[in-house]
């Protein structure tokens, strides 16, 4: 961790070098025991999840280009930051995403078809965060930075309920919120820092710095490393190599346990890169160079991790099985997307109020009469 007054350029915590070798740097010393405690089975599950979500992401982008989705938000390149941190969460934790955390949602248990449904416009939220099958994974948030406030408020509630700081790490809760470099320029994030620091909330702010807020480079947004935003509010903060899944896991695990134990909020800045467009409505060739993109493609988190796993003894059969499963997963995503149907009109009225309400009943009756007045009797 850094002193809030320190202004030096950091060396991000790293375990796996870009060439795939295990080369922990000095910043990794504090977390080395955690990283080295991960067994081969868990490492291979991490690789499996990173690979399947990459295949899903590519297929979803193709579906959007073919007119099956209104929009797609790629996560290509950020798999290590997301999978590592998601594996570090405990079952009782609450996760607050932005709109690009497909891998986090996958690890926590949501059916990624719910993200497809959301961006196809056939659902009003995507999934129920209260459903145990969804692993306390809250809804995607398109209003930039607002999820930081949601997470902080929830974390305040955890503390006020006495559900953290009891000394039982298997039961104590924490919240983790994901946001990007662009969100750090939003007032909501600064306000979340204020309340988190003031109330010493049990939460981790997980900043994925993918270097571009649509077309605005991170160098335009801050003259200093972004993790200093946290230290400026008195929140212990650390910067990691976001393309290193071991660094993401180990640092997040320690910081979540510190937060849940009553030590207050933490911030992690994961240096990564958005390989694709901000969304499919964006053209990144208009604002970044081919050389910059190539330099980050060479640091691909999945390729790096594969080299590391091979050095640990993972064989060709393992990687072939994962590749085959990823191909099937992408094909199944396409099949299920093409089978989606439009929702019934009454769906929009169902969750306006907890109980049946005469106003929404009146509005639905009006809609039915209006549709019946049209040629064919259906506005859809």
Written in H, E and C, the secondary structure of 212-239 is: EECCEEHHHHCCCCCHHHHHHCCCCEEE
The C-alpha atoms of residue 242 and residue 248 are separated, in whole angstroms, by 6
The C-alpha atoms of residue 139 and residue 99 are separated, in whole angstroms, by 9
Give CA separation, 88 vs 146, 174, 210, in Å: 23, 12, 21
Per-residue confidence (pLDDT) for residue 9, from 0 to 100: 62
Q: Is 287 a catalytic residue?
A: yes
The pLDDT tens digits of the residues spanning 38-91 come to 999 999 999 999 999 999 999 999 999 999 999 999 999 999 999 999 999 999
The C-alpha atoms of residue 72 and residue 179 are separated, in whole angstroms, by 17
What are the boundaries of each domain within the chain? 26-338, 345-376
Q: Residues 150, 260, 278, 304: which is the catalytic one?
A: 278
Q: Is 304 a catalytic residue?
A: no
Contact 362, 353 (CB under 8 A): no
Q: Is 274 a catalytic residue?
A: yes
Token couple for 153: 């408020």
- Note if the pTM is more than 0.85: yes
The pLDDT tens digits of the residues spanning 254-276 come to 999 999 999 999 999 999 999 99
Per-residue confidence (pLDDT) for residue 233, from 0 to 100: 97
H helix runs in 287-352, sequence order: 290-297, 301-311, 316-338, 347-350
Q: Residues 287, 312, 353, 357: which is the catalytic one?
A: 287
Determine the length of the chain: 380
- Nearest Cα neighbor of 207 from 190, 231, 182 is 182
Token couple for 356: 């049946």
* Residue 263: how many other CB atoms lie within 10 Å: 15
Which positions ≥6 away from 195 have C-beta within 8 Å?
A: 149, 152, 153, 156, 201
DSSP classification of residue 53? H
Per-residue confidence (pLDDT) for residue 347, from 0 to 100: 86
The C-alpha atoms of residue 172 and residue 200 are separated, in whole angstroms, by 15
**Helix, strand, coil shares, percent, the chain, to 5:** 50, 10, 40
**At CA 53, angle to CA 51 and CA 341, rounded to 5?**
145
* Residue 275: how many other CB atoms lie within 10 Å: 18
The pLDDT tens digits of the residues spanning 299-343 come to 999 999 999 999 999 999 999 999 999 999 999 999 999 999 999
Tokens 């050095």 — which residue?
A: 311
CATH architecture of 26-338: 3-Layer(aba) Sandwich (3.40)
The pLDDT tens digits of the residues spanning 214-253 come to 999 999 989 899 999 999 999 999 999 999 999 999 999 9
Token couple for 319: 């990687």
Q: Give yes or no for residue 376 having a pLDDT over 80.
A: no
3-state secondary structure of 27: helix
Contact 80, 245 (CB under 8 A): yes
- Nearest Cα neighbor of 183 from 153, 149, 156 is 149
Q: Residues 274, 299, 304, 308: which is the catalytic one?
A: 274
């Amino acid at each position: 961790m850094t002193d809030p007054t320190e202004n030096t350029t950091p060396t991000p915590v790293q375990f796996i070098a870009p060439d795939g070798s295990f080369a922990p740097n000095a910043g990794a010393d504090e977390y080395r025991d955690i990283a080295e405690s991960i067994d081969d089975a868990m490492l291979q599950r991490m690789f499996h999840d990173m690979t399947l979500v990459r295949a899903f992401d590519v297929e979803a982008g193709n579906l959007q280009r073919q007119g099956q989705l209104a929009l797609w938000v790629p996560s290509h390149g950020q798999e290590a930051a997301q999978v590592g941190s998601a594996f570090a969460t405990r079952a009782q934790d609450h996760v607050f995403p932005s709109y690009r955390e497909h891998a986090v949602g996958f690890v926590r248990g949501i059916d990624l078809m719910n993200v497809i449904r959301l961006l196809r416009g056939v659902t009003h939220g995507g999934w129920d965060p209260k459903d145990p099958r969804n692993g306390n994974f809250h809804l995607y948030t398109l209003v930039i930075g607002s999820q930081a406030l949601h997470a902080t408020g929830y974390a305040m509630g955890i503390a006020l309920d006495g559900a953290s700081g009891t000394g039982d790490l298997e039961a104590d809760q924490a919240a983790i919120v994901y946001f990007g470099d662009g969100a750090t320029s939003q007032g909501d994030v600064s306000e979340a820092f204020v309340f988190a620091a003031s109330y010493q909330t049990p939460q981790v702010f997980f900043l994925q710095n993918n270097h571009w807020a649509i077309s605005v480079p991170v160098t335009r947004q801050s003259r200093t490393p972004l993790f200093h935003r946290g230290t400026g509010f008195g929140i212990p903060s650390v910067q990691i190599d976001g393309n290193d899944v071991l660094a993401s896991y180990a640092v997040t695990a320690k910081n979540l346990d510190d937060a849940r134990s009553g030590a207050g909020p933490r911030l992690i800045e994961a240096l990564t890169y958005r390989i694709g467009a901000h969304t499919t409505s964006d053209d990144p060739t208009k604002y970044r160079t081919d050389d910059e993109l190539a330099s980050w493609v060479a640091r691909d988190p999945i390729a790096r991790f594969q080299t590391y796993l091979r050095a640990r003894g993972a064989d060709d059969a393992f990687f072939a099985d994962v590749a085959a499963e990823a191909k099937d997963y992408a094909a199944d995503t396409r099949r299920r997307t093409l089978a989606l149907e439009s929702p019934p009109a009454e769906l929009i009225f169902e969750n306006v109020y907890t109980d049946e309400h005469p106003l929404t009943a009146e509005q639905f009756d009006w809609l039915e009469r209006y549709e019946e007045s049209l040629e064919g009797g259906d506005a859809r």
